[in-house]
Structure formats: C-alpha cells, structure tokens
C-alpha cells in the first residue's frame, strides 16, 4: 500500500511516523515544497528572543530520521495538482527542475497554513517579515541585530510573542492592531484588562495602538523605514513583523474538487476523511469541530496537528479512530504575563446561540502569605439554561494556563457548573489557595444560572 | 434559631461565616478549647521555614471579625459533653473555671483532628513537637534557633514539609519512617523514585531511614538528645518532630452516641448529617466519601474543611446541598520537588476490588529547547475492564501538581481513559509540550485496558 503525504511540518510528520509503526511494510512518501520538515513553528519567537541559540533545536526530527525508518522524503518538491479520480499527484522538483506523477492508495493533505498578508502598499520592501518558516526565524534574528525599533502589525499570539522577543533584545516596539482591543480573539473586557496589565510593565519599551489599520509602508532599497496608518500616522521601524493571522493552504484541494467547510479550511469527517474516501486532511489546512457545540471552527494549532496526524494514520491502517474535535485551548506568554483560554468566549457563545452568562474574579495563585504569590484573573462562561460550562479565559501568573487546563476535561465532558463543584483540586500553600480560584468562579457563576 | 459550633480552625469557621450570610438573624456560637480560631495549619511549615515572619499571617480571620458580624466566639472553652437527646452541650470555661450548659437547635461538630502520638518511651521530654497548633509553630521556630540536628519521625506530608523547613535553616535532619518507603500513602514504586530524587539533592543535609520504628527517646531536663530505633540505632537530635499522622477528635461524639464510620471518623450522610438529624459534622473529624468508588475514607485536608463547612451551613439554612465527596487530591513540596496525587493509588485500587492497571512515564514539563525545562514523572491508574481513570501520582517540577489538577475533573466525572483523550490541553513552548504528558500517559494506558 502506498501513502503519499503532502507537507510535513507537524501533522504530516506525525502521520508518517505513526503509519510506519502501524504498517511496517507499507510505502510512505512525503512531498513538501519546504526546505525543512518536522519543526516547531511555535518555538520561533523563543529562538528569536534568544532562549536558545541554535535554530536546529526547533527540529523535532531530521529528514534522515524519516529515511532511516523507510519513509521517503522529498524536500523542495512542490505538489501542483491532486487528481483524486486518478489517485495521483503531479510533483515539480524545484531544484532538479523535473516534473513527475506519483500514484497513491491513500493521500494525506497536510499542507498547513500560510501567513495572511494584508493589503498594504509597499508590502514587498525588505525587512518586512512573517513568522512561519525556519527561514523567517533566521532572517528575523539577523535583522534584529541592527534594529532599534520595530513595528508589529497584529496583536494575536504571534504578535504578542514577538513583542516579548523584541523588547527582550532592547528593540522598541509599536504594536498596531486594527481591532479596538489587543488579543481580539478574547472577550474585549478581558483584552482591555490584559492591555492595561501589559502597559503597566511596558516601561517605555513598547506601545499598543489599537483601532488602526496599516495602509502603507515606506522605505528604500535598504528596507522598510516607516509604517503608515489609515489616519496618516507614521511609526518609524527598522523592521516590520506581519502577525495578522494565517490562512489555510487549500488551493490544491479546491482545484481537485475537495470540499471546503464553512470556515474555508478543508472539510473532514470524524475519521479525518475528505469527500474522497482515500484522501485525508489534517493539521492547519483542515477544519476542526468545536466539541462544546459541535460547530465547525478554524483554530490552527500545533497541539492539534499531532493528534490529527495520529488519527489519520490509525484510520488508514484500517482501525476506526474517531477524532472528537477540539476545545480551542490556548496559552501565550508576553513578558511576565500568561494569557490562556479554552472553549468559547462569551461573545462567541452568544453568536452561537447560547444564553451565555459569565463571572470574572481575581485571586492569588497561592496563599497570600507565601512569597511570590501573584494574581490570576479568570472569566468563566456558562449557558444560563443548561448550566453547561462553555469556556474560560485567564491571565496573570505563570499558573494562569494551569487553571484553564483544570477546566478542559470538564468542557470535553460537557459538565455543568454544578458538576464542576465536585472537582477536588490539590492544595498546599506554595501551590494554591485552600479554596481554589476555579471553585470560587464556579460558585459565582452558579448564582447566575437556572440549574 | 440557635446554632452551636464546636471547633473553628477551618470547617467550623467557614460554617459560621456562611451561616451568618444565609441566616442573618440566627444565633451562632463557637466554642473551642483552642486559643485561636480560623487559621491555616497547612502554612505552619512555611512559617517555620521563614517564608514569612509573623505567625499572625496564618490567621484567616480574627475572633473580632467573627464577633463583628454577630458570631459569639468562646476561646479556651472546652466542650466536655454533647447530649443530643437534650439538645445541649456541657461547656467548661478553662480560664474562668466556670461550667455551664448551652442549648442548640443545630449543632456542628468541627472538632478536627490531633496528631497521633506513637508509643515511644520518654515521649514527654521537652523539644519533642507535633505540628498542628499555632503554639506548636511558635515553639518549634524558637527551638530551631539553637538546633543543629533534628529527627523527624514519619515521612508523610508534614514530615516532608518540615524537612524542607529545617534544612532551609541549616539544621541537619534524619527522617525515620517505619514503612519500607517514604511517603507511604503513594505507591511504593513512586515513593522509591521520589526518595532517590530527594537523595540526589540531599548534599549531606538530610538522610532517610526507612523500615525503622522509633522505640525510645533519650535526653535530660534540657530536652531530647537522642532518638533510638527498635534496632538500637541512636540518632542525635536537638529537637524531634512527630509527624506520624493525625487521628480524628471523636471522643465527644462517641460519648454522645454519634455513630462513627468504618474509618473511625464521624459518619455523615450526603447532607453532612450524623445519625442525629440536627447534629452535623465537617472537617477533619468527619469521614469522607471517595467519589471514584463511593467508599468511605479518612483523608483530612484543609481544602475539604471549607467546602464541608459551606455545605453544612447551606443545609442548616433549609436548602439541600449534597456534598458529593472527595478525590483525595493532594500536593506537597520538598525542596525543589513537587509531589502530587489524586484518586486511588494502584495499591488502593486493587484493595478496593478494581482490576487496576497503570502506566508511568517521565517527560519534560516544557519543550526541551526552553531554558528551565524540567522533568515530571507521572503514573496513571485505570480499571482494566471499564477503562475508568482511578487516579494519578506525579512528582517533579513545580508544574507536577498542575498535571494532577488537569485530571481531577475527569475523575469526578468518572471518565474513561478514552474519554480523556478528548482533553484539549493548552500548548506553547514556555508552558508545555505540544503533546501533553497526560495525553501520552492516557495513550500508554489505553494499550493496557479492554475498552
């Protein structure tokens, strides 16, 4: 049996390795137009920051490790056409300038996502970067050496993480966000609190500019010099980061008649199959189902890539592995602030038709008398009628994400707020308070729901 | 309506305050033979260690704060008899040397627990301490000033936490444990690994001696000098800590015809009632139900006291508040090692009739390339037939307890290992690995169970 995998940053790499273990004798071939496979994009901000010096640390596995277990790896091989009705793909060898057809029994589309590039005048000036590939990482780290000021366009995860990377290297940063609040995927009440916290520790090292659209870049042959907003404001910049989100790489799929979902990513069933029985999709190019509401969402995260790659391999091997979906659990770090969420925001829940209520509180992460006790602010969201917990957002100390992770099982199990009161959290003064923040939040929320 | 509460360290204090809010006009009276109320016993090791200097930090609320909301507080008033058939108690005022009867409509027994004092010759020598009351805390901190060597008898939570407190003050410690492993409430395979880890960082500051029973203390009018085991070995000691567990204060209850459970603690129903309808028990004197198996257990923890006190108050106020029980979730710190568990150990599960299987693994708490990434070792236990997760034990970095807390909802919801694979944990390199330790553990365990 021949399996072809297109793309192998995370999902494709995992699928290949898992399939090798499940079907030792099958033929597995990876084609990618990338120069690298099996790497951690999520680690790029920390490489740029200088938490580690060798970009090769980002590689989970080398191409040789794949070859050593009999997986064929073709780097810089661009797949230009998928023909599901012929079970073949057309591949162009970028370096060798050769073109060939490759046949498959099963095809795995793991083409990932690419940075969304907004419509900005002179976007092609040098020293304007997205943050995605190993090359991006190396180029930004190099440009950083001679930079004094940077502009980051966008304040999602990548924008926020690059902010930390830059100010840690004494580069002043202006963050320009078109939404009215930073971190626009959170509820705006939480985003505003987070922005205030970050501004408190900014100390002249960075500034947020929200509600502003970048319309133009200015510069010369040496690269970008200024970033101009729609209001005509100009921000000086020795380099610019575009952190305006990603879009799934679905052009090959569209061309092949593979259906997309309502989110614009490739539609798959519970068994990771597209509308063609022997064509699977996983990772950042594939649509996800939100477990809480069984609605399609596009939340491309590294943590899903591995699980989805694994599920594809198991299904190809002939076992049935249902992939239940995701909760949209995330964490990001900006300087000393941890920001985390799971499930739906209140805004999202209302849009999805829930009668959403919420409760927000701030409490110490450890008993107040312990040195280093710090605050965590948490907002918990539930459905007023059913009492089902729909999501939570938290920020504060390095334990903020741990509070979120104490809720994820409850969300996956569609537990109610009342159910959650049975959660028995550990307690000792160096680690927590005797009454846990989450218990307080659940009690507060209980007063607002019907059951 | 008159409510009397006997004891007010944690459960009684919470019951009083909650009842005051629910029933603003009712009469609430606290009697305790203690000199303090509403304090954090759990914080005593950190006061002794020196994490904070003023023992008053341990007080959650002062007697005045209770009096200010109209709760009568009688310190150093010893209740010597409960007469459920007359709805009264006999109280002796220790200081005033007066004796009187007090009548109640509802009685809350929150008499707590006391240190178990093993049968050891010369146990009454001075500089031999238990760790329970504020007086203990003050006396140990004073004795520590002139001490060079200490012996800690017992290696449960308190023993392990006092070890940290002493070595942090440059006092050498011998820990003598009668079981074959330290932390005997864990599975012995985990205890052995933990002991090895701690011995690696001991650096001549402490030593464990397991499988040894203390039979005798030797000393003079200045206090204890030596601790002698049943094998005749002698350990020099300027002070001795007895950390050999606690026993519930149930003598009053027994005398009054209040039923005990099989664990020796006061038997209560889901509404916190004893066999007398208007007599409730909560906190360290009360038996708990283990949610996983609905079996009675005696696990006296501060985190339960508050929840149980709250439940008692709600039930007295006329609402029905069922208290589902506990999971036995704990965390303790010993120097740089975090040790945590929830639910049943494998040993416990087998004893309780489960067909228990387990999976143990060690993994970085963050992505390996991040500075400060450290290991966590986790053992997950499940029932082979049903796949129900029964418990977990973990040790390692300061995030070890956070892994345990990511499981507690799953345990409370009686989830299976397969259910738990739907848990969607957050991921970013500074906080976790892209495939979470718990997900790896669940996958490993899945291979060992039938469903």
Give me the CATH number covering residue A80: 3.50.50.60
Q: Is A439 on the interface with B (CB under 8 A)?
A: yes
**β-strands A106-109, A239-242 pairing:** unpaired
Q: Closest partner residue to A434 among B302, B330, B399, by Cβ?
A: B302
Q: Is the pTM of this model over 0.80?
A: yes
Which residues have a Cβ under 8 Å from the Cβ of B21 and sit 6 or more positions away?
none
Residues A109 and A135 occupy one common structural domain: no
Q: Average pLDDT of B131-139?
A: 96
Tell whether A21 and A68 lie within a shared domain: yes
Residues of chain B with C-beta less than 8 angstroms from the C-beta of A423: 408-409, 412
Nearest to B237 by CA among B221, B254, B252, B218: B218
Q: Is residue A291 part of a domain?
A: yes
Per the CB < 8 Å rule, is B430 touching A46?
yes
CB atoms inside a 10 Å sphere around CB A372? 9
Would you place residue B451 in the very low, low, confident or very high pLDDT band (cuts 50, 70, 90)? confident
| Same domain flag for A412 and A356 | yes
Q: Which three-class secondary structure state does DSSP give residue A218? A: strand
Output the pLDDT for position A451: 80
- The CATH number of residue B363's host domain is 3.30.390.30
First to last CA, chain B: 54
Query: Does the CB of A418 have a partner CB in chain B at under 8 Å?
Result: no
A372 touches chain B (CB under 8 A): no
A324 inside domain: no
For residue B278, give the 3-state DSSP assignment: coil
CB B127 within 8 A of CB B149: no
Residue B367 pLDDT grade (very low, low, confident, very high; cuts 50, 70, 90): very high
Contacts of B269 (CB under 8 A, 6+ apart): none
What region, left, alpha or beta, does residue A156 occupy, with left being phi > 0 and alpha being psi -120 to 50 degrees?
beta
Contact across the interface for B434 and A302, Cβ inside 8 Å: yes
B28 inside 8 A of chain A by CB: no
Phi, psi of A158 (to 5 degrees): -65, -40
Instruction: Please identify, among B211, B244, B277, the residue that sits at the C-terminal boundary of a domain.
Output: B244
Q: Tell me if A429 and B305 make a contact (CB, 8 A cut-off).
A: no
Cross-strand bridge partners of residue B360: B379
Asked whether residue A48 is assigned to any structural domain, the reply reads: no
The answer to whether B169 and B46 have CB atoms below 8 angstroms apart is: no
Domain that holds residue A201: 117-244
Residues B231 and B272 occupy one common structural domain: no
Determine whether A42 is an active site residue: yes
In tens digits, what is the pLDDT along chain A, a chain of 451 residues? Answer: 999 999 999 999 999 999 999 999 999 999 999 999 999 999 999 999 999 999 999 999 999 999 999 999 999 999 999 999 999 999 999 999 999 999 999 999 999 999 999 999 999 999 999 999 999 999 999 999 999 999 999 999 999 999 999 999 999 999 999 999 999 999 999 999 999 999 999 999 999 999 999 999 999 999 999 999 999 999 999 999 999 999 999 999 999 999 999 999 999 999 999 999 999 999 999 999 999 999 999 999 999 999 999 999 999 999 998 999 999 999 999 999 999 999 999 999 999 999 999 999 999 999 999 999 999 999 999 999 999 999 999 999 999 999 999 999 999 999 999 999 999 999 999 999 999 999 999 999 999 999 8
Query: In this structure, are residues A15 and A5 in contact, taking their beta carbons and an 8 Å threshold?
Result: yes
Domain membership of residue B310 (yes or no) is yes
CA atoms within 13 A on the CB side of A292: 31
Does A418 lie in the same domain as A387?
A: yes
For residue B446, how far is the Cα from the chain centroid? 32
Rounded CA-CA distance B339/B331 in Å is: 6
- H or E stretch covering B330: strand B330-334
- Dihedral over alpha carbons A28, A29, A34, A37 (to 10 degrees): 30
User: Are B361 and B437 contained in the same domain?
Assistant: yes
Do the Cβ atoms of A402 and B407 come within 8 Å?
A: no
Question: What are the φ and ψ backbone dihedral angles of A299, each rounded to 5 degrees?
Answer: -125, 90
Residue A214 CA to residue B323 CA, distance in Å, equals: 56
Residue B363 lies in a domain: yes
Would residue A405 be called left, alpha or beta, if left means φ above 0 and alpha means ψ between -120 and 50 degrees? alpha
Write down the mean pLDDT value for chain B: 97
Does the beta carbon of B325 lie under 8 angstroms from any beta carbon of chain A?
yes
ipTM: 0.93
Q: Chain A: give the shortest CA distance to residue B196, in Å.
A: 23
How far apart, in whole angstroms, are the C-alpha atoms of residue A55 and residue A146? 19
The reply to whether B131 and B235 lie within a common domain is yes
d(CA B207, CA B221): 27
How many domains in chain A?
Answer: 3
Contacts of A311 (CB under 8 A, 6+ apart): A271, A272, A282, A321, A322, A323
Question: Which burial class, exposed, middle or buried, applies to B142 when counting CB atoms under 10 A from its CB (0-12, 13-18, 19+)?
Answer: exposed
Q: Is residue A451 part of a domain?
A: no
Residue A429 has its nearest CB partner, among B43, B367, B398, at: B43
Half-sphere exposure of B215 (CA within 13 A, CB side): 9
B238 & B135 share domain = yes
Contact B301 A427 (CB under 8 A): yes
Q: Tell which phi-psi region holds residue A195, choosing left (phi > 0), alpha (psi between -120 and 50) or beta.
A: alpha
E strands present in B41-188 = 71-74, 77-83, 88-93, 98-103, 106-109, 113-115, 128-129, 149-153, 172-177
Let me know: does B325 contact B296? Beta carbons within 8 Å: no
Please state, in angstroms and rounded to a whole number, the distance separating the CA atoms of residues B327 and B343.
Answer: 5
Within a domain: B28? yes
> Which of A244, A260, A282 is a domain's end point?
A244
Q: Containing H/E element for A30?
A: strand A27-31
* CA atoms within 13 A of residue A171's CA, in its CB half-sphere: 29
Closest C-alpha among A263, A253, A424, A443 to residue A361? A443
How many whole angstroms separate alpha carbon A423 and alpha carbon A150?
45
Q: Do A342 and B426 touch (CB under 8 A)?
A: yes
Q: Is the same domain home to B361 and B434?
A: yes
Q: Identify whether the C-beta of residue B399 lies closer than 8 Å to the C-beta of residue B331.
A: no
Q: Does residue A51 lie within any of the structural domains?
A: no
Last residue of a domain, one of B195, B226, B244: B244
Helix (H, G, I), strand (E, B) or coil at A62: coil
- Contact (CB, 8 A) for A392 and A406: no
Measured distance CA(A347)–CA(A187) in Å, rounded: 6
Alpha helix positions (H), A206-301: 251-255
CA distances for A59 relative to A63, A106, B184, angstroms? 10, 26, 42
Beta bridge partners of A2: A27
Within A168-282, residue ranges assigned H as helices are 188-200, 251-255
Measured between beta carbons, which residues in chain B are less than 8 angstroms from residue A342? 424, 426
Q: Are residues A267 and A182 in the same domain?
A: no
**Nearest CA to CA, how far is B217 from chain A (Å)?**
31
pLDDT of the residue at A398: 96
Q: How far is CA B347 from CA A39, B153, B300, B355, in A?
A: 41, 24, 20, 11
Neighbours of B414 (CB within 10 A): 15
Buried b (16+ CB within 10 A) or exposed e, A150-186: bbbbbbbbbbbbbbbbbbbeebbbbbbbbbebbbbbb
- Mapping DSSP to helix (H, G, I), strand (E, B) and coil, where does residue B167 land? helix
Nearest by CB: A327 against B58, B330, B424:
B424
Instruction: Kindly tell me if the per-residue pLDDT of B174 is higher than 90.
Output: yes
Chain B touched by A328 (CB under 8 Å):
yes
Strand partners, B128: B240
The CA-atom distances, in angstroms, between B3 and each of A136, B28, B87, B286 are: 69, 5, 11, 18
A430 vs B157, B333, B370: nearest CB: B333
Segment B132-157 shows an average pLDDT of: 97
Chain segment A88-137, per-residue pLDDT in tens:
999 999 999 999 999 999 999 999 999 999 999 999 999 999 999 999 99
Instruction: Find the residue in B nearest to A303 (Cα).
Output: B434
Q: Is residue B92 located within the same domain as residue B240?
A: no
Please indicate, yes or no, whether residues B135 and B225 belong to a single structural domain of this protein.
yes
Min Cα separation B410/chain A (Å): 6
Vertex B329: Cα angle to B401 and A336 (nearest 5): 30
- Predicted local confidence at residue A138, as pLDDT: 97
Nearest residue, CB atoms, A329 vs list B367, B371, B426: B426
CB B435 within 8 A of CB A11: no
């Amino acid at each position: 049996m021949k399996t072809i995998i297109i793309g192998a940053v995370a999902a494709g790499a995992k699928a290949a390795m898992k399939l090798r273990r499940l079907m030792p004798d099958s033929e597995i071939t990876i084609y990618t137009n990338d120069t690298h496979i099996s790497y951690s994009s999520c680690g790029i901000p920390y490489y740029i920051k200088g938490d580690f010096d060798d970009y090769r640390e980002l590689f989970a596995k080398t191409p040789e490790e794949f070859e050593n277990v009999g997986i064929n790896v073709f780097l810089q091989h661009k797949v230009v056409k998928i023909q599901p009705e012929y079970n073949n793909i057309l591949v162009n060898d970028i370096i060798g300038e050769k073109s060939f057809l490759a046949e498959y029994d099963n095809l795995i589309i793991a083409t990932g996502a690419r940075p969304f590039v907004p419509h900005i005048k002179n976007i092609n000036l040098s020293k304007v970067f997205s943050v995605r590939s190993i090359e991006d990482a190396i180029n930004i780290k190099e440009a950083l050496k001679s930079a004094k000021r940077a502009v980051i366009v966008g304040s999602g995860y990548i924008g926020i993480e690059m902010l930390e990377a830059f100010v840690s290297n004494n580069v002043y940063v202006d963050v320009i966000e078109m939404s009215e609040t930073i971190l626009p995927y959170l509820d705006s009440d939480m985003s505003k609190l987070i922005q205030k916290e970050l501004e408190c520790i900014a100390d002249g090292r960075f500034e947020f500019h929200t509600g502003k659209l970048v319309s133009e870049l200015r510069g010369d042959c040496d690269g970008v010099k200024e970033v101009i907003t729609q209001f005509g404001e100009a921000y000086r910049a020795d380099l610019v980061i575009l952190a305006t989100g990603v879009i799934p790489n679905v052009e090959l799929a569209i061309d092949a008649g593979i259906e997309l979902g309502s989110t614009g990513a490739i539609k798959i069933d519970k068994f990771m199959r597209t509308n063609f029985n022997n064509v699977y999709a996983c990772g950042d190019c594939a649509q996800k189902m939100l477990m809480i509401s069984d609605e399609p969402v596009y939340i491309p995260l590294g943590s899903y890539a591995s699980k989805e790659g694994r599920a594809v391999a198991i299904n190809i091997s002939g076992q049935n592995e249902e992939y239940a979906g995701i909760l949209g659990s995330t964490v990001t770090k900006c300087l000393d602030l941890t920001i985390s969420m799971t499930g739906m925001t209140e805004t999202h829940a209302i849009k999805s038709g829930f009668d959403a209520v919420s409760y927000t509180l701030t409490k110490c992460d450890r008993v107040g008398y312990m040195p280093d006790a710090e605050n965590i602010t948490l907002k918990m969201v539930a459905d007023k009628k059913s009492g089902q917990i729909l999501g939570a957002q938290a920020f504060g100390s390095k334990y903020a994400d741990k509070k979120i992770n104490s809720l994820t099982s409850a969300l996956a199990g569609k537990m109610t707020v009342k159910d959650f009161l049975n959660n028995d959290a550990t307690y000792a003064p160096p680690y927590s308070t005797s009454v846990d923040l989450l218990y307080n939040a659940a009690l507060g929320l209980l007063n607002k729901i019907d059951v």
